[in-house]
Amino acid sequence: MLKVEGLKKYYPVQKSSIEVLLTKRRDFVRAVDGVTFDVQKGEVLSLVGESGCGKTTTGRILVGLETPTDGRIYFKDKEVTSMEKDELRRLRRHIQMVFQDPYASLNPRMKIGEHLEDSLAVHGIAEGEEAKEMAMAMLDRVGLPGEQFYNRMPYQLSGGQRQRVAIARAMILKPEFVVADEPVSMIDVSLRAAILDLLMSFREEYDLSMIFITHDLSVARLVGDRIAVMYLGKIVEIGETRKVIHNPRHPYTAALLSSVPSFMKRRKRVEIIGDIANPIDIPPGCRYHPRCPFARDVCRKDEPELEGDRHLFACHFPLELTF
Amino acid sequence: MAEVRNLATTIFSFLPEAEGRYMVLTGLGIVITVALMAIFAPLIAPYDPIKSSGDVLQPPSAKHLMGTDNLGRDVFSRILFGSRVVLAVVFSASIISMIIGVPLGLISGYFGGKLDRVLSILMDSMYAFPGLILAIAIAAVLGPSVFNAVVAISVVYVPTYFRMIRGQTLSLKSLLFVEAARAIGATDWRIMRKYIFPNLIPTLVVVFSLSVADAILTEAGLSFLGFIVSAPTPDWGFELASGRPYLPAGYWWMITFPGLMVMLLSLGFALVGEGLSEIYAPRRER
């Protein structure tokens, strides 16, 4: 359904004027630094990692909000990265996004109903009365009765309701692929489950493929068929949710898992040292080694490849743990 | 423009509760009064503004509220009819500047790149001229007429709209809801029309009233120099010019009343603009 090969996104670093005069070197933030994965029809892939690991940038590239520095994206075997602007725009009907911040993602001067109708109008699906009917039906479908909500303005809605509108706006196009960028991280905890249920109900109805971006492993294990763990612009471990959660091979995955608070049992502790490195100065060798309690000499020199069959990981000394 | 705006804020800074709404209400009061004067001038005016009443250079009295000029014409009546010219010139000029400046600013800010650079440099160099000087230069080239004055004044205020709208567009286009519109596949044109422009309207209202406030002064300047109307037609700036030679001899009313009207009307628009911007974005701490 979707295939990503060696995706890279580098941003040039703003330098001070003195640095510009004195050095020729241009620095780059390597936000996404060679990411390869695929998503099958109807599958949900969770993209997990700390802030700044490049997961959001990856999602934004997939929906066409950023152009990659390098790498290829195939959607249904067609290469997206070489498409013309207009063809890309039409493709967006099939690849939709739900953003993290529902307070900023709606136009403050547009009615709720218009947001949905705009999606339809953009792709010439329906207009006028027909569009209004479809918008009404979709509002009902996401739990915001159309009669009540069609004419409201965004500021009259709560965060949870706004996120429902954002989901409706994407889903009214009947997309085949959705990138959900931390769709519940800014929503009250009490409402998260309902929003997740809503998203997953569309997954069943449309047989959606989805990339679910989150920093929260406990959410990822609920929604994802597979989990991909990102660190400093690269995937360090990817595999079926069950396997990654219960039998993490990469020390970073294990550290993330042991940092999830739990009432049930004392988890095994896997330490993580210090803070995430600067994506301008990515450490040589394994990029995780400065923070890894198991790092040895090899890790400081050679960068491990992402290897394995179905459950892949990039580590010289993979763990043998069960959680 | 700065002087009128400062005056507008200073007057109201004495009121402890001087929220924008008092400024707007006072300003609107002034503006609406003058507009009514202009519309109903033939009904209100006690005399014909162009015909002499026979009594030359009479001081203000019950018979002639604001006195008479050197040709015996009633100053009050001339001010009433003069407001028609002032409002017509200033409004049409400001609307033309808006029609040109807003789309240019929107396109320039939204697309950026080379076009933006060229337009910005062009507009900034126009903005660098003192408004009145630029207007005089254009009016001098085109020749004196009401139409040419409108053209001259509208050119002067295009950069004001351009700069404000470009700046706002730059900050709006990076907001998430604009990204979201791009993500659903909206075209640039649709994004500008439905997502950016409606969010510019508050700014536009403020810029419009402030630029009208300033254009009133520019219009008076042009008119004073004789670039707008000629001999019998009344216009405030023109009255100032014809009254000026009589001031040293003590005939103060010929010049005082038109001058006050220019100031008052400009202040009215400035109050509306400043008050609205206060309401939209309160910035003074209390």
Specify the CATH number for the domain of residue A188. Answer: 3.40.50.300
Give first-to-last CA distance, chain B, whole Å: 26
Q: What is the per-residue pLDDT for B232?
A: 86
Chain B positions touching A169 (Cβ under 8 A) are 180, 184
pLDDT tops 90 at residue A90: no
Interface residue A280 vs chain B (CB under 8 A): no
Residue-level pLDDT at B16: 47
Residue A314 has pLDDT above 80, yes or no: yes
Is position A163 within any domain?
A: no
How high is the pLDDT of residue A263?
A: 59
Q: Within a domain: residue A164? A: no
In chain B, the residue whose alpha carbon lies closest to the alpha carbon of A117 is B184
Predicted confidence at residue B286, as pLDDT, reads: 38
B168-195 exposure pattern, b = at least 16 Cβ within 10 A, e = fewer: bbeebbebbbbbbbbbbbbeeebbbebb
Contact B187 A89 (CB under 8 A): yes
A99 assigned to some structural domain: no
pLDDT tens digit sequence for A95-112: 999 999 999 999 999 999
- Do the beta carbons of residue A74 and residue A130 sit within 8 Å? no
In chain B, what residues touch A92 (CB-CB under 8 Å)? Answer: 183-185
Mutation pick from A62, A90, A117, A122 vs chain B, by most beta carbons of B within 10 Å, is A122
How high is the pLDDT of residue B3? 66
Token pair for A27: 């620095």
Q: Is residue A238 part of a domain?
A: yes
Chain A touched by B193 (CB under 8 Å)? no
Residue type at A234? K
Mean pLDDT, to the nearest integer, of B180-197? 94
Q: What spatial distance separates the first Cα and last Cα of chain A, rounded to whole Å?
A: 32
Q: Of the given ranges (A82-86, A225-229, A285-289, B35-39), which has the lowest mean pLDDT?
A: A82-86
Span B109-128, average pLDDT: 95
If one counts the domains in chain A, the total is 1
Query: What's the CA angle centered on A164, arms A161 and A168, to 5 degrees?
Result: 140
- Which pLDDT score is estimated for A264? 54
Render the burial of A290-308: b for 16+ CB within 10 Å, e for the rest.
bbbebbeeebeeeebebee
Record the tokens describing residue B7, joined without a space: 């005056």
pTM of the model: 0.85
Q: Label the pairing between strands A226-231 and A44-48.
A: parallel
**Residue-level pLDDT at B2:** 63
Q: What is the DSSP string of A123-179?
A: TTS--HHHHHHHHHHHHHHTTS-HHHHTT--GGGS-HHHHHHHHHHHHHTT--SEEE
Task: Say whether residue B198 is in contact with chain A using an 8 A CB cutoff.
Answer: yes
Q: What is the mean pLDDT of residues A183-196?
A: 90
Is the per-residue pLDDT at B10 higher than 70? Answer: no
Q: Which CATH superfamily is domain B2-9+33-280 in?
A: MetI-like (1.10.3720.10)
CB contact (8 A) between residue A104 and residue B176: yes
The pLDDT tens digits for B142-154 are 999 999 999 999 9
Strands (E), chain B: none
> Domain range spanning residue A182?
2-94+173-313
The verdict on residue A193 lying in a domain is yes
Across the range B104-113, mean pLDDT stands at 96
What is the model's pLDDT at position B92? 96
User: How confident is the model over A288-310, as a mean pLDDT?
Assistant: 89
pLDDT for the residue A22:
78
Ranges A13-22, A291-300, B271-280: which has the least confidence: A13-22
Tell whether the model's pLDDT for residue A280 goes beyond 70.
yes
